[in-house]
Amino acid sequence: MMISPEGYYEEYLKGKSKEQILSTIRGLKNEIGCLKNTMENPHYGQEPCIRPSEDTRIYWTREYLDRAKLAYAEAGGTYTMSKSEEKAAEFDSNITFISKITFSIGGFFGGYRGYVVELSDELRAYTKLLDDEEPLFLLDEDDEPFIISTFASALADLHIGEWRRSYSTKRFGYMVCDGTQWDLEIEFNNGHKPVKYNGDNSYPYNFDKLTMLFGIENTEEDVDE
């Protein structure tokens, strides 16, 4: 059972010094990193699921981290972001300027499929296969087309700015031949340089939420068709 951010404040932050709160902030950041590593391990999901899940714990630990940073400021501290936090914040500040997202996934034997999301002048986000002319509008949970602001909000929830630029099983001491490779390129309309990510049989901890945002329910089935 996870407690609320205010409950966390009352139990772990209230009355603490700046130094103690800063130590808590470091611990929360380390916990998020460890949870991500657990979910990105090739063997993740083979063991029985523990409740609350890692994904749920990441969500709430982010909430606690935000509350801890606020408590640090209230105690008179000035928080300095790390380089990785600066990179994530810089990406988030440009989300509303995203104009195009190109995503491809597949393998040598099954072939590749490419998808494009374009944010049109009509303030609608749509996806299409790379070779297709006709767009398919992305839908929200109420079966209504995404408007740009809604899509940007959903994209922000993925925290893509925190992702590694490249994912590989070598990070965990594994070598996998062939398998599945993927590429993601995000373009902007404000002069910001395109941002690229890729992976070789390895994925960010919330990769499945990215494919769902594209309207892709099962990338492996799509590739094999």
For the segment 67-104, what is each residue's pLDDT rounded down to a tens digit?
999 999 999 999 999 999 999 999 999 998 998 899 99
d(CA 48, CA 19): 38
When pLDDT is averaged across residues 44-69 and rounded to a whole number, the result is: 91
Q: Which two tokens stand for residue 220?
A: 């492996």
Per-residue b or e along 68-80, where b marks 16 or more CB atoms closer than 10 Å to that residue's CB: bbebbeebebeee
d(CA 8, CA 178): 45
Average pLDDT, the chain: 86
Q: Strand 195-200 relative to strand 181-188: parallel, antiparallel, unpaired?
A: antiparallel
What count of other Cβ atoms lies within 10 Å of the Cβ of residue 197? 18
The residue among 197 and 143 whose pLDDT is bigger is: 197
Reduced to 3 states (helix: H, G, I; strand: E, B; else coil), residue 31 is helix
102 burial via Cβ count (<10 Å: 0-12, 13-18, 19+)? middle
Chain position carrying tokens 């470091």: 26
Reduced to 3 states (helix: H, G, I; strand: E, B; else coil), residue 196 is strand
Question: What's residue 224's pLDDT?
Answer: 44
Q: Which two tokens stand for residue 154?
A: 């959903």
3-state helix, strand, coil in the chain (%, to 5): 45, 20, 35
d(CA 138, CA 155): 13
Domain residue limits, the chain: 5-80, 93-224
Under DSSP, the state recorded for 77 is -
pLDDT digits (tens, 9 = 90+) for 139-164: 666 666 667 777 788 889 999 999 99
